[in-house]
Amino acid sequence: MSTTKVQAKPVAVERRRRFDRRWAGLALLLAAAIYAPFQLVPFHVFQLTMVLVYAVALLGLNLLVGHAGQISLGHGAFFAVGAYAAAVLMDRWALPYPLTLPLAAAVAFVLGLALGVPAMRLRGLYLALVTLAIAIFLVPLLKRFEELTGGSMGLTLAKPQPPAWSGLAEDQWLYFLTLAIAVASFLLAASLLRSRVGRALHAVRDNETAAEVMGVRLSFYKTLAFAWSAMFAGAAGCVYTWVIGFVSPDSFTVNLSITLLAGLVVGGLGSLSGPVLGGLFVMFVPSISQDVNDAAPGVIFGLLIIAVMYVAPTGLAGLAGRLIKKIPRKE
């Protein structure tokens, strides 16, 4: 008994130190993220922007899959809905671009709420199948309503221009917009997960029955998890439209949904850094392997997923955590 008392204090100190180090790490990362666009060529700035876009989408998917324990093979559909909502609003109604973000997120949220209803009754493979169906029928749907969506040709839009006071180039401005949205999204998700709501989500994931007898309404949280995840995907889709300046149905095939899920699992389910690592994976692995051989991306993508699952079953985030622990510390 007395030994545990003696140990108690150093443990608390150690915990605080780890906490401080974590904040220091985050601050350093943010500083690097702000510094980067001034050092890189525009194409690389664009690539980093896309990493952030995917990270926001994966953040949403992580809420659903990693934290609420549901599954979605249709996340790309919500991404597409956000992208198209922004594109149509800007193209048909000439809405200023900043307004399209909340609207696209709201549209995706409502759609997520509606499509979350099957999640109340289905689980596992059945839920995967229903969400997959959503991803499949979206593409023909987008092509069908040509007058609104531009059909197979898609819609081309003017990219948001940097205001004169900023003194930034177009790619840098888009990068900083995306960075701000990504940081805001991460703060929102982190505070959500630390709250009573976050605990309820985890409870639903870990033990539905026990959660229910404690007063957690399963149907409410499952639907809400879908809606939130769709909201983040919608926001990411909207930013995608700003950054690319073009949407077409073929950018949002089933492949996108599967790539997103794969990216999240590789990045690390249920961890906060998982979406960023997953975003890097989704962005860079296909484009780097393209340089090796035209036919290589699919093969390399697949092999890497298998390799990561063998080496790091908890994803890259888990692997990074283990490596950091191995670094000897100077006290």
Partner 1 sequence: MSTDLVVSDLVAGYGDAQVLHGVSFTVREGEVCAILGPNGAGKTTLLRALSGMVKARGTITLGGAALTGRPPDAVARLGVAHVPEGRGTFMPLTVEENLRLGAYVRRGPSVEEDLERVHQYFPVLKKRLKQAAGSLSGGEQQMLALGRALMLRPRLLLLDEPSLGLAPLVTRELFRIVRTINEEERTTVVVVEQNAHLALGIAQQAHVLETGRIVLSGTAAQIQADEQVAQSYLGYRV
Q: Closest distance between partner 1 and the C-beta of residue 51, in Å?
A: 28
Note whether 212 binds partner 1 by CB under 8 A.
yes
Task: Using the rule CB under 8 A, give the single segment among 83-91, 164-172, 197-205, 279-287 that binds partner 1.
Answer: 197-205
Q: Please say which residue, 69 or 237, places its beta carbon nearer to partner 1.
A: 69
The three-state DSSP-derived secondary structure of the chain is: CHHHHHHHHHHHHHHHHHHHHHHHHHHHHHHHHHHHHHCCCHHHHHHHHHHHHHHHHHHHHHHHHHHCCCCCCCHHHHHHHHHHHHHHHHHHCCCCHHHHHHHHHHHHHHHHHHHCHHHHHCCCHHHHHHHHHHHHHHHHHHHHCHHHHCHHHCEECCCCCCCHHHCCCHHHHHHHHHHHHHHHHHHHHHHHHHCHHHHHHHHHHHCHHHHHHCCCCHHHHHHHHHHHHHHHHHHHHHHHHHHHCEECHHHHCHHHHHHHHHHHHHHCCCCCCHHHHHHHHHHHHHHHHHHHCCCHHHHHHHHHHHHHHHHCCCHHHHHHHHHHHHCCCCC
Note whether 209 binds partner 1 by CB under 8 A.
yes
What is the pattern of x (binds partner 1, CB under 8 A) and - over residues 260-289? ------------------------------
Which residue of 16, 21, 44, 199 would you call a contact of partner 1, by CB under 8 A? 199
Task: Using the rule CB under 8 A, give the single segment among 30-38, 210-218, 243-251, 315-323 that binds partner 1.
Answer: 210-218
Q: Between residue 141 and residue 170, which ones bind partner 1 under the rule CB under 8 A?
A: none
Q: Closest distance between partner 1 and the C-beta of residue 47, in Å?
A: 35
Which residue of 45, 71, 111, 211 would you call a contact of partner 1, by CB under 8 A? 211
Note whether 206 binds partner 1 by CB under 8 A.
yes
Q: Please say which residue, 195 or 287, places its beta carbon nearer to partner 1.
A: 195
Q: Between residue 213 and residue 252, which ones bind partner 1 under the rule CB under 8 A?
A: 213-218
Quote the CA–CA distance of 236 and 185 in Å, as a whole number. 10
Task: Using the rule CB under 8 A, give the single segment among 34-42, 86-94, 119-127, 201-209 that binds partner 1.
Answer: 201-209
Task: Using the rule CB under 8 A, give the single segment among 80-88, 138-146, 212-220, 271-279 that binds partner 1.
Answer: 212-220
* Tally of residues, the chain: 331
Note whether 320 binds partner 1 by CB under 8 A.
no
Note whether 210 binds partner 1 by CB under 8 A.
yes
181 CB-near residues (< 8 Å, 6+ apart): 52, 56, 101, 235, 239
Note whether 304 binds partner 1 by CB under 8 A.
no
Note whether 68 binds partner 1 by CB under 8 A.
no
Note whether 10 binds partner 1 by CB under 8 A.
no
Asked whether the beta carbons of 109 and 234 are under 8 A apart, the reply is yes
Asked whether the beta carbons of 67 and 268 are under 8 A apart, the reply is no
Which residue of 200, 265, 282, 312 would you call a contact of partner 1, by CB under 8 A? 200
Quote the CA–CA distance of 252 and 140 in Å, as a whole number. 11
Q: Closest distance between partner 1 and the C-beta of residue 15, in Å?
A: 7
Q: Please say which residue, 206 or 250, places its beta carbon nearer to partner 1.
A: 206
Which residue of 123, 143, 159, 202 would you call a contact of partner 1, by CB under 8 A? 202
Residue ranges that bind partner 1, judged by CB under 8 A: 4, 8, 15, 196, 199-200, 202-203, 206-207, 209-218
